[in-house]
Copies of this chain bind each other. A is one copy, B any other.
Amino acid sequence: MNIRSFKSGKDRREALGKEVGVSLANIGSFSLDEAIASSRNCENMIGIAQIPMGVAGPLRITNRKQEHDYYLPLATTEGALVASINRGCKAITQSGGATVAVESVGVTRGPVFATSGIIESLNAKKWIDTHVEELGKVAAKTSLHLGLKKLRTRVVGKNVYVRFFFDTQDAMGMNMATIATTSMYRYIEVKTRAKGVSVAGNFDIDKKPAWLNSISGRGKRVWAEVTIPSKVLKKTLKTTAKKVYDVWLAKCMIGSAISGSLGFNAQFANVIAAIFLATGQDMAHVVEGSLGITTCEVLSTPEVKNSSHLGGESEESLYVSIYLPDIMVGTVGGGTGLATQKEALSILGVAGGNEGKNAQKFAEVIGAAVLAGEISLLASLEEGTLAQAHQRLARGKSK
């Protein structure tokens, strides 16, 4: 069967169903515009995958003296996840909201060139390092929505690697970046004696878990934090500051250290995956979203101590922060224009392009959502209710 030869997804689906002897009725039931999806998002289309979408919230973000409550669209097939994030949202909102911050590092793309040896490699590197502006003009010609922010070079023997950083406004921008890089790649070949080997040489480094992205950042760097009072810890999270802290230290710090992990966190990837899926992000970028660090601190509140009948510990509040060095997201382009994805972005009020502001705001919400996920899981690991939650919410799943 030649799967490229069909005129429509319907024809292809039916032929494939016949070929493998399976009804594909559900895959064939959907509302999105097949013509657009099949030309922009997916070749050889046969229909759609349907993923349950839930919502968590309200999640309060308090930034620059403004407060806003968000409802998080989360697409997942993993029972208990939405409920867990929802509990974290509740705890954050009850604590007055999360503080968030975002730095736009830029999407990266990086070619590799070959030379005749070290001296020529270093000459090419020098030329590239000293012609950033000129290269930026070459890049800018490829798109009105892209700018070259900076670049980094690295030489290993006959190989010269470049890491370009681009501002792509509200788009995640990987494709724009590739097109702009290809243009500069040809230009560098003309201007230096280096010969292009590959437009993408893993110094980018795209969709691989890598220390370079942790250290140098990629896409957006995101921070979020909240201080949870003892009351919220007790009532909503059924725990104490000290207990969550102990789980965090043993798990996210020392446990990650003995495992050679690039993620010093509890479950960044779960939250990232659910938001990315609902909002049309590139799911392979979940890999990069799993990088980062959660920190905790127990704060004593001495003024309360004296009047307490419960002993000091239960009066302590808990500071929790998350740091995401590499969040690759967009609110235009890619899957963001598809029907359900656009609606999900609209729930957050960030659908479409807005001079980079929508992507910025979207990253802020992601930061707060990841924070909610960490708080809830760290609390449940301590209270031993993780398995119970799964048993209750996902019963029958593994049968």
CA distance A330 to B80 in the complex (A): 18
Q: Are A114 and B250 in contact (CB under 8 A)?
A: yes
Q: A48-B51, A200-B381, A213-B259 are in contact. List 10 more A-B contacts (CB 8 A).
A: A3-B71, A38-B52, A40-B79, A50-B50, A112-B255, A157-B293, A207-B263, A209-B262, A287-B290, A332-B399
Q: Does A363 reach chain B (CB closer than 8 Å)?
A: no
Q: Are B263 and A210 in contact (CB under 8 A)?
A: yes
A-B contact pairs, 17 of them (CB 8 A): A3-B57, A20-B349, A26-B32, A26-B339, A37-B52, A43-B82, A48-B52, A48-B75, A77-B341, A156-B223, A161-B255, A202-B261, A208-B262, A209-B287, A209-B291, A213-B259, A257-B257
| Chain B residues with CB under 8 A of A283 | 76, 273-274, 276-277, 283, 286
Q: Is the interface of A mostly helix, strand, loop or mixed?
A: mixed
Q: Are B176 and A398 in contact (CB under 8 A)?
A: yes
Q: Are B277 and A49 in contact (CB under 8 A)?
A: yes
Q: Does A44 reach chain B (CB closer than 8 Å)?
A: yes
Residue interface bits A259-282, CB-to-B below 8 A is 1, else 0: 111111111111011101110101
Q: Does A138 reach chain B (CB closer than 8 Å)?
A: no
CA distance A23 to B262 in the complex (A): 40
Q: Are A178 and B387 in contact (CB under 8 A)?
A: yes
Interface size on A, as a range, is: 35 or more
Going nearest first, the 4 A-B pairs with the smallest beta carbon separation are A77-B335, A211-B260, A209-B209, A202-B255
Count copies of this chain in the complex.
Answer: 4
Closest-CB distance, A100 to chain B (whole angstroms): 8
Closest-CB distance, A78 to chain B (whole angstroms): 5
Q: Does A201 reach chain B (CB closer than 8 Å)?
A: yes
Q: Are A259 and B211 in contact (CB under 8 A)?
A: yes
Do A119 and B143 contact each other (CB < 8 Å), given the known contacts A53-B49, A211-B259? no
Question: Which stretch (A191-199, A230-238, A354-362) binds chain B?
Answer: A191-199
| Chain B residues with CB under 8 A of A210 | 256, 259-263
Q: Does A16 reach chain B (CB closer than 8 Å)?
A: yes
Closest-CB distance, A257 to chain B (whole angstroms): 5
Q: Are B278 and A340 in contact (CB under 8 A)?
A: no
| Chain B residues with CB under 8 A of A158 | 295, 297, 319, 321
Closest-CB distance, A308 to chain B (whole angstroms): 15
CA distance A159 to B208 in the complex (A): 23
| Chain B residues with CB under 8 A of A199 | 381, 384, 386-387
Residue interface bits A285-304, CB-to-B below 8 A is 1, else 0: 01100110101010000000
Do A20 and B209 contact each other (CB < 8 Å), given the known contacts A3-B86, A225-B117? no
CB contacts under 8 Å to B, within A224-247, are: 224-225, 246-247
Q: Are B284 and A273 in contact (CB under 8 A)?
A: yes
Q: Are A207 and B334 in contact (CB under 8 A)?
A: no
| Chain B residues with CB under 8 A of A286 | 269, 273, 283-284, 286-287
